[in-house]
Amino acid sequence: MALQDSDIAKRVGRARRLARWSLAAAVAALVVAGTGLTLARYDVIAKLAGFSALLGGGLVALLALVLGLGSLFSGRGAAAPSRRTAWIGIAVALLYVGFLGSRPLAAGDAPAIHDVTTDLASPPQFEVLPLRADNLVGVGTLENWRRIHERAYADLGPVTIPRPVAAVTADAARLAEQAGWKVAKVDPARGHLEATASVSYIRFNDDVVLRIVPTQDGKGSRVDMRSVSRVGVGDLGVNARRIREFLAALAAA
């Protein structure tokens, strides 16, 4: 009987230690991610470094999950007071890992490109904001980029708006400012606008350019748009979504 009691005491003690470690690891995962993302948000460290901290926190969260499950297993069959602590660690870890796992699902079948436009043959060109030097990273050639882009975003194209170029450009600038974008250049006479949008808490910067020209009959404006991520290979579909939403809002303005 004494040996059985001793065995139970050992298992309870092990369960208690694992539960504490699980909760500590779950909290550490949040601290690692929060610190990295916040430093990247304010450009103390590089954006990708902050994103790496988020992924690194995910690994720590997985460790917390394993430790928590180990605690429950060790304390099975005994009145282990550490179960509540273990379940908290497991819950936090599951939320963290679940969030990371949901990001690719939220992107759907978005391709690994970061430059999206309504005109593949002649994309709007930046004049003030510099196009990233490695803009073909991940695709290699313009032909590959166009092929991947056309297959993924066949629905993207210019919109025709029955308003003069200057008026449409002014509306575009107003909508950009309302969206919190930093407008770098706006030229209503030429129908040109450049701005920088930020994405997520970490503030990944994407550059946007609009080209607005008169329609052939001179009664309206044709609007083409381009959105390019400054870092990374893929964009999880963010640039295409931005173009769709912005052009829809501009047409309705």
Same-domain status, 216 and 187 = yes
Same-domain status, 243 and 120 = yes
Same-domain status, 197 and 138 = yes
**Total number of domains in the chain:** 2
Same-domain status, 92 and 123 = no
Global pTM reads 0.82
Q: How far apart are CA 87 and CA 72, in angstroms?
A: 8
Same-domain status, 74 and 150 = no
Domain boundary, last residue among 85, 107, 129: 107
Q: What SS3 class is residue 247?
A: helix
Q: Mean pLDDT, consecutive 10-residue segments, the chain of 253 residues?
A: 60 87 96 95 91 94 95 74 89 94 75 96 97 94 96 96 97 97 97 94 94 93 98 92 97 94
Full domain range(s) for residue 59: 2-107
Domain boundary, last residue among 86, 107, 128: 107
pLDDT of the residue at 3: 43
Same-domain status, 39 and 158 = no
Same-domain status, 52 and 130 = no
Domain boundary, last residue among 55, 83, 107: 107
Residue 179's domain is classified under what CATH number?
A: 3.30.530.50
DSSP tag of 89 = H
pLDDT of the residue at 75: 73
Dihedral through CA 110, CA 116, CA 117, CA 120, nearest 10?
A: -90
Q: How far apart are CA 120 and CA 130, in angstroms?
A: 19
Q: How far apart are CA 170 and CA 148, in angstroms?
A: 33
pLDDT of the residue at 248: 97
